[in-house]
Amino acid sequence: MAVPSFQAMLLPILETASDGKEHSLRDTVECVADRLALVDADRAEVLPSGRQRRLVNRVSWAFIYLSKAQVLERTKRGCYRITARGVDLLRRKPAALSLGDLSQFPEFREFKSCRSEGPEGAPGGENHEAVTPEEMLEIAHQKLRDTLAADILQAIAALSPQFFERLVVDLLVRMGYGGTRQDAGQAIGQAGDGGIDGIIKEDRLGLDIVYVQAKRWDRDAPVGRPDIQKFAGALQGHRARKGVFLTTSSFTRDAHDYVSRIDSKIVLIDGETLARLMIDFGIGVTHVASYELKRLDSDYFTEE
């Protein structure tokens, strides 16, 4: 099963705190996972950014909502305890809790009225009450990246193979390969030797070299095993150990299977990966805006 919404975690969190003891967020995450019978894969699932586990994010926000309803109280940083209001709520033996249930408390209604409510549907089709605010930001960010990646591949398809070769040079140099831009520019697009489009330094000192194949193909025509075999054969002919095969298209399953079973190290970069790398390393894209996400520094607001 997937990680449930943060609303599904409201009751398990409150039940975990029902013993009246102080509970840490870290311990509660595992208790909630156990109560919901989450498997290891669910517990390890991360947000699109990869910076936080989805389970931790949703439990954290559930804690916030429960504390705003004053059914939990913060005892110290990252630790909470159930309140008399929370005990009374559990006495009613609810089958589940939702934000609607918490809205019976005036403090929570005031908190909700102060928040800038988003649209009824979060980006990606998920209801905004099912995901946390951070998840909504990440969903929107990923949707923008996906749209930008599609635009990048469409722009590449409209230009010449020579432009694509220059693009490959720019990307590899920005990623730290190829030494200087001039060195890399002289290497790519000039070899044309038995399935090899270029030779580029692996590092600025030139301690090793990487052979490159760049194919600007139609996205509906995947690169198959024969083309990869030709490239691998060219590497062997040059006694080379490393190669990168880039395409605006994709690779067949046979192509991936082949590179996994040969001695030479060949990295396959398909169109989606290429576009993602261009976005990450700032090739062919321009900066529009940055948003800095901050949270309360609880250590600052202590009088000790």
The total domain count for the chain is 2
Residues 197-253: tens digit of each pLDDT:
777 877 767 677 888 888 888 878 899 999 999 999 888 887 888 899 999 999 999
Residues 64-109: tens digit of each pLDDT:
899 989 999 988 878 899 999 999 999 999 999 999 999 999 988 8
> Does any domain span residue 290?
no
Question: Are 160 and 271 in a shared domain?
Answer: yes
Question: Are 87 and 201 in a shared domain?
Answer: no
Give bridge partners of residue 213 from the DSSP assignment: 245
Domain boundary among 60, 92, 115: 115
**What is the rounded average pLDDT for all residues in the chain?**
83
CATH of the domain at 56: 1.10.10
Question: Are 172 and 91 in a shared domain?
Answer: no
Q: Cα 169 vs. chain centroid, distance in angstroms?
A: 26
Candidate ranges 34-38, 131-135, 173-177; pick with highest mean pLDDT: 34-38
* Per-residue pLDDT band at 129 (split at 50, 70, 90): low
Question: Are 188 and 274 in a shared domain?
Answer: yes
Q: Is the pLDDT of residue 118 over 60?
A: no
CATH of the domain at 218: 3.40.1350.10
Q: Cα 38 vs. chain centroid, distance in angstroms?
A: 21
Question: Are 173 and 249 in a shared domain?
Answer: yes
Secondary structure (H, E, C), 170-217: HHHHHCCCCCCHHHHHHHCCCCCCCCCCEEEECCCCCCCEEEEEEECC
Percent of the chain residues topping a pLDDT of 90? 34
Residues 25-61: tens digit of each pLDDT:
889 999 999 988 899 998 998 887 777 888 998 998 8
Mean pLDDT on 125-137? 65
State the residue range of the domain holding 57: 6-115
CA–CA dist 87, 71 (Å, integer): 8
> Does any domain span residue 11?
yes
Question: Are 94 and 204 in a shared domain?
Answer: no
CA–CA dist 169, 120 (Å, integer): 45
Inter-CA distances, 95 with 89, 101, 114, Å? 11, 11, 29
Report yes or no: 70 and 107 within 8 Å, Cβ to Cβ: yes
The more confident residue out of 286 and 189 is: 286
Question: Are 111 and 212 in a shared domain?
Answer: no
> Does any domain span residue 73?
yes
pTM (2 d.p.): 0.63
Q: What's the pLDDT at 131?
A: 73
> Does any domain span residue 148?
no
Question: Are 194 and 242 in a shared domain?
Answer: yes
> Does any domain span residue 291?
no
Q: Is the pLDDT of residue 303 over 70?
A: no
Q: What's the pLDDT at 183?
A: 66
